[in-house]
Amino acid sequence: MKRINRRDFLRLSAATAGAAAVLAACRPAAPTPVAPPPAKVEEKPSPPPVAKPVKLELWAFVDTHARWFRSMAEDYRKEINPEFELDVKEIAYTELHDKLLVAHQTGVGAPDFGDVEQGRFGGFFKGEIGFVDLTDMLRGGNYVEKMVASRQALYTWKGKMYGVEHALCPVVLYYRADVLEEAGIETPIETWDDFIAVGKELSKGDVKMTYMGGEWEILLRQRGADIFDADGNVTCDSDVAIETMQWDLDLRDKHGIADEAPGGAKYDSAWYGALKEDKFLSVIGADWYAGFLEDNAPELEGKWKAMPLPVWEKGGSRTSCHGGTGLTISKTCKDIAEAWRFMEYSMLSVEGNVRRYLLTRLFPPFKPAWEDARLHEPVPYFANQDLGGLFAEVGPEVPAQYQHPYRPEFYSIWDGKYARDVLDGKKPVAQALKECAEEVRKAIAEGA
């Protein structure tokens, strides 16, 4: 069984599913645009747990999450229930989601907890839902208003919440500060037109300002659009979607400031090798990508910084969102009450959220943690920048992603039939997106 680490994570995730999916960075969907408004109830904290033997199982697909869960379980055992055990299993991304889906459909073999990536979450809403509905527990603990609604929307279906998000996932522009500063480039770069101009100044030979092909979804959401809209309509072939994908391709084909990422994505070992050779000077990435850089290119410590995304037009959004994972409890959980108490302890506490950021750079979607001083400590890898301060600054501008049961179908169709041909110039962007959209619409209509 292959375990996934941070370097492999998004390459396999539905957010950018595989090398051919580089252009398919479109991971949104529909019905519930925001988490339901909190009901006005009196705060009812969970009753003190009874110290009884309980052993629960959790499936995770990324090593940083697994390490953090193990750490939190150890402290939970020390502070709350000395008889508590948590068996954290690291399972490869595709295998985890496929096995979990089958377990829910059959009612056999599901873990007590499942860490489910947002791009695969919609697929669990077909037929009988195997997750515990957390809505009443979240409202009863007065947690809903403390969570970022646009992030919780990814785990919400028909007004019910089935998961708790790990990260705010604000997207920023990571850049080689040493190179830009030596060239006298003023930062932050204000607009994408300015970014292209800087790229033309700095791109020479095999050194490029950035890479192309992987950030269409991110850029599309920055512009206020998505693959699906809030009403469940397929919108991946909208005018703005077509224009944005063409813009992404033009970074290579028209402006000469980008190349396709080595290995097909910005998570491959070949990509990090190219970064170490100073071949790419910027990366569009979410909060968690800071941790990826630290882990996979430690030799570059002190050379990187981050800035808000350049805007499409003056006054526009300076960020987007990318990725996300929600912790769920299975209906077959051996002890739902104890599982919920551990979720409160780890996912819905200031301490748990701060410790996760310090370990993984996942900026909390739990708003009470935002003012904690530990989130604003200088980060040596990023030239002692207050990285948490940047995430907090752009965080309120993070756009919504929309969940939909047919998001996985979109990725499967796009990745399997269209992405590579578009990258290679064999099929026009507009034609490919329109044909893909029609296939997705047909699948929805037929209930396939």
DSSP letter string, 9-40: HHHHSGGG-SGGGGGG------S-SSPPPPP-
The residues spanned by each domain of the chain are: 6-30+170-321+408-446, 54-168+323-369
216: CB partners within 8 A, 6+ apart = 23, 24, 25, 26, 244, 245, 248
pLDDT at residue 16 above 70?
no
Q: Name the average pLDDT for the chain.
A: 88
Q: What is the mean pLDDT of residues 11-35?
A: 35
pTM score of the predicted model: 0.80
pLDDT of residue 126: 86
Q: Say what percent of the chain tops pLDDT 90.
A: 76
Burial of 343 (0-12, 13-18, 19+ CB in 10 A): buried
pLDDT above 80: residue 370: yes
Q: What are the distances in angstroms from CA 403 to CA 118, 122, 251?
A: 8, 6, 30
Closest to 226 in 3D by CA, of 215, 216, 235: 235
Same fold, 6-30+170-321+408-446 and 54-168+323-369: yes
CB count within 10 Å of CB 46 equals 15
Q: What is the mean pLDDT of residues 368-388?
A: 94
Superfamily of domain 6-30+170-321+408-446: Periplasmic binding protein-like II (3.40.190.10)
Whether the predicted pLDDT of 15 surpasses 90: no
pLDDT tens readout for residues 400-419? 888 888 988 999 999 999 99
Q: Which amino acid is at 140?
A: G
For residues 8 and 103, give the distance between their C-alpha atoms in angstroms, rounded to a whole number: 25
Digit-coded pLDDT (tens) for 149-174: 889 989 998 899 999 999 999 999 99
Name the strand (E) or helix (H) holding 172.
strand 171-176
Q: Which CATH class is domain 54-168+323-369?
A: alpha beta
Distance CA 420, CA 425 (A): 9
